Chain A
Amino acid sequence: MGAAIQDNLFTPDVIADPYSYYGRLRDEDPVHWNEPYELWVITRHDDLVWLTRHHELFSSAVFKTDPRPPYPAIDESDLGLYEYVRNYQGDQFIQHDRPEHLEMRRIVHGYFTPKSMEAWRPFVQKAVKELLDEAEEKGRMDVMRDLATPLPVLVIAQMMGVPEQDRRYVRQLAEKLLYIGRGEYDRMKPLTEGMRGMIDYVSPLVDQRIVNPGDDFISVLAGGERRGVFSRHEVLVNTSLLLLAGHETTINLICNGTLAFMRHPDQWALLKRDPAGLAKTATEECLRYDSPVVSIQRIASQDVEMRGKVLNKKDRVRWFISSANRDPAKFADPDKFDITRWPNQHVAFGNGVHHCLGATLARVEGQEVFRALAERFPDLRTETEDLEYQPSITFRSLKSLPVTWQ
Chain B
Amino acid sequence: MARNLRIRVDHDVCVGNAMCETIAPKVFRLNDDRQSEAVDPGGDTVEKIIEAAENCPVSAIFVEDADTGEQLFP
- Given that A53-B34, A54-B34, A106-B22 are contacting pairs, would A352 and B57 also be in contact in the complex, using a CB cutoff of 8 Å? no
Complex Cα distance, B52 from A113, in Å, reads 11
Option from B12, B16, B55, B58 in Cβ contact (under 8 Å) with A353: B16
Option from A110, A112, A353, A360 in Cβ contact (under 8 Å) with B18: A353
Total B residues in contact with A, Cβ cutoff 8 Å:
16
B15 touches A113 (CB 8 A): no
Provide the residues of chain A in CB contact with B55, threshold 8 Å.
109-110, 113
- Given that A102-B22, A106-B22, A343-B12 are contacting pairs, would A355 and B57 also be in contact in the complex, using a CB cutoff of 8 Å? yes
B27-74 CB contacts (< 8 Å) to partner A: 33-34, 54-59
Complex Cα distance, B55 from A119, in Å, reads 15
Q: Is the interface of A mostly helix, strand, loop or mixed?
A: helix
B17 touches A115 (CB 8 A): no
Complex Cα distance, B58 from A54, in Å, reads 19
Q: Mark A101-139, 1 if CB is under 8 A from B, else 0.
A: 010001001101111000000000000000000000000
A301 within 8 A of B: no
Total A residues in contact with B, Cβ cutoff 8 Å:
21
Provide the residues of chain A in CB contact with B19, threshold 8 Å.
109
Q: Is the interface of B mostly helix, strand, loop or mixed?
A: loop
Complex Cα distance, B34 from A106, in Å, reads 19
Measured CB to CB, the residues of B under 8 A from A are: 12-13, 15-19, 22, 33-34, 54-59
27 cross-chain CB contacts under 8 A: A53-B33, A54-B34, A102-B22, A106-B22, A109-B55, A109-B57, A113-B55, A113-B57, A114-B57, A343-B13, A345-B12, A349-B15, A351-B15, A352-B15, A352-B17, A352-B18, A352-B34, A353-B17, A353-B18, A355-B16, A355-B17, A355-B57, A355-B58, A357-B57, A359-B57, A359-B58, A360-B57
Complex Cα distance, B34 from A179, in Å, reads 35
Provide the residues of chain A in CB contact with B15, threshold 8 Å.
349-352, 355
State how many angstroms separate the Cβ of B65 from the closest Cβ of chain A. 20
State how many angstroms separate the Cβ of B22 from the closest Cβ of chain A. 7
Complex Cα distance, B74 from A115, in Å, reads 9
Provide the residues of chain A in CB contact with B16, threshold 8 Å.
53, 351-353, 355
Provide the residues of chain B in CB contact with A345, threshold 8 Å.
12
With A112-B57, A113-B57, A345-B12 already in contact, 12 other A-B pairs whose C-beta atoms are closer than 8 Å: A53-B16, A53-B33, A53-B34, A106-B22, A109-B19, A114-B56, A114-B58, A350-B15, A351-B15, A351-B16, A352-B17, A353-B17
